[in-house]
A and B are shown apart, each in its own frame.
Chain A
């Protein structure tokens, strides 16, 4: 009896969530706007935002992936002026398909950035592909943006590698035990991963869990959830950035 009641409550919540999703997100998807207006908007939007994250992380906790939408997210972020992007899924499905993502980025940027004068050099980096694939537009003046593809292997085990490295240094006498401080460990991790701590993390999917996304780096990261990355619109992406711009961090004070 009680079990049934609990199950009923859960069904009702799920139904409620679904209806909320329908009402809030579906209308956006049906509105399609012309390409030209999008580019124009991105340029002006980046100026109107209160603050822009340097590093944005996309955590996908869904079972199916739409590389087209991920590519759109990357291109929008790059056009807004975000310099570091990480994309995380626990099993490394996105990492394995980096070439598919690469192709999608090409077509997506043609569509979205065709009118733009500035060139961006989008570089995909992942530990399983040491040779990074580049989507360069030829000009040497292009601003370089790195997209890091991550999975669970890049999270806790990276801290362990740093720990092993530090222990080795201490045992050889090159380093003092008291020098193992948060700021030094942070430097080592940034050197090995080549990106600063994410300022904003957008999580796609209904499960509220990070599934091992960069445990060291998320100290001050703002988390914002969106129901799905499939069919995500520019408008809902921008709304997360506006929300990020309105937060106020006190850093313990």
Chain B
């Protein structure tokens, strides 16, 4: 997809694969034949530049045809470079400016409560995104309103646009910060598929407070030359790199 468009963000897409697999293939209540189903669970991609992994799972679930994936980022495609709602079924929010998804998810959760509906919102954030002040405004608000129907997940791959997160802006102790804001917090290996499923399932049982799952991941997971490097945050592979990458991940 990213090769075909010669543009996009492979690193943060690959680090989120197990998280989206758990949500779209196991945990979430959704119906590809009825993407506007009022009782569907909402998946909110706050790190909207990693939309290639979302499109891949939307195709896997039948929201999109596989062939359409190759139109990503090209003229006249529905598959915009950052996720855009009202364009592709299954894309719940327009993003691309970091920090906005958790607030949006909070709005959905408040509406669910008002309407007496039992759907949940699952919001995926990046770790570089934790630098945005709005994230912490939303963290405070979701806890204030006791939103047990909200699960946020941080794809903590340790790399952001210009370098390692630890060098750009220290975030430690991240889990303690979320706990201090009143959230239930779990820390897991974000590439252990079973652990990801179990943590998200467990979050569904938390009541009276929102849930955070901090998933330790590897940027560019599965592709040796992309792993753990900022260089592959927002760049497309060439033909040779594409072949090597597909061979390594066994696609």
Q: Do A and B come from one complex?
A: no
